[in-house]
Amino acid sequence: MVFIEIPTIILPWVAEGIGPLLELRVYALLVSIIELIMFLRVFQEGQVLPPFRLVVKTLIYALPQLLWFTSAMLATVMVFAGIDQQLFGRVDDNYADYGSSFISMFSVVIEGANNDGPAFELSPEGANMMYVIANIFLFLIIAQFFIAILVGAFDHTREAENDRRMTQGLCSGCVDVSQDAPISTWLKRTAGYLFMYRQWGVFAPVLRRTMTDLITEADSRAEERSPYSG
């Protein structure tokens, strides 16, 4: 797509040119955005490879469900972040402010919660209770929904690809003669073509010529009978 290809060509030059004028923090953010766009182009260009094309189509098919579920997940993480900030914000730097608490809870979705820190030293019962609840809801339930959505989308995409191959493929017993073949295969096909009279009772070139004449004659008669001819 043009809106992905053009930025990956222009933006690196722009970042290189204006880099000395930017603060390090802003420059790092700009480079991160450029790398993200280039990563998206890898997905676009990689569709020429069948396995990678299957991955891309799986993500495209799962995208609507992932967006809706991500909204629900973020809402749940925000609730847990507020609870942990109120409970442990005064004793644990990981929950000192809402932003830090949100990042800590979001990491639970990815890798699960841990059961160490100042909060567990101050109130082991309360901290362990939140540890169990967070792991059950965020890690064992919500995180697994992501996997289930992707697995379902992958199965659907694979079945669609198989159906497409069956629809566009050759019927059973047919051979794709457009591809280059070894000399032995070519000789076998030629011999089969020339000696098909054993099956059809006529020499193959004669059969082909007769069928061509019949098709031409049928087309001519159809044009004569057509109300739009002449």
d(CA 63, CA 60): 5
pLDDT at position 161 over 70: yes
Which residue would you say has higher pLDDT here, 220 or 170?
A: 220
Is the model's pLDDT at 107 over the cut of 70? yes
Q: What is the mean pLDDT of the chain?
A: 79
pLDDT score of 18 more than 60: yes
pLDDT attached to residue 196? 61
- The pLDDT-based confidence of 171 (bands split at 50, 70, 90) is low
Q: How many CB atoms lie within 10 A of CB 49?
A: 11
List of residues 6+ apart from 193 with CB closer than 8 A: 204
In one-letter notation, the amino acid at residue 86 is Q
By C-alpha distance, which of 139, 119, 144, 140 is closest to 129? 119
Average pLDDT over residues 2-30: 82
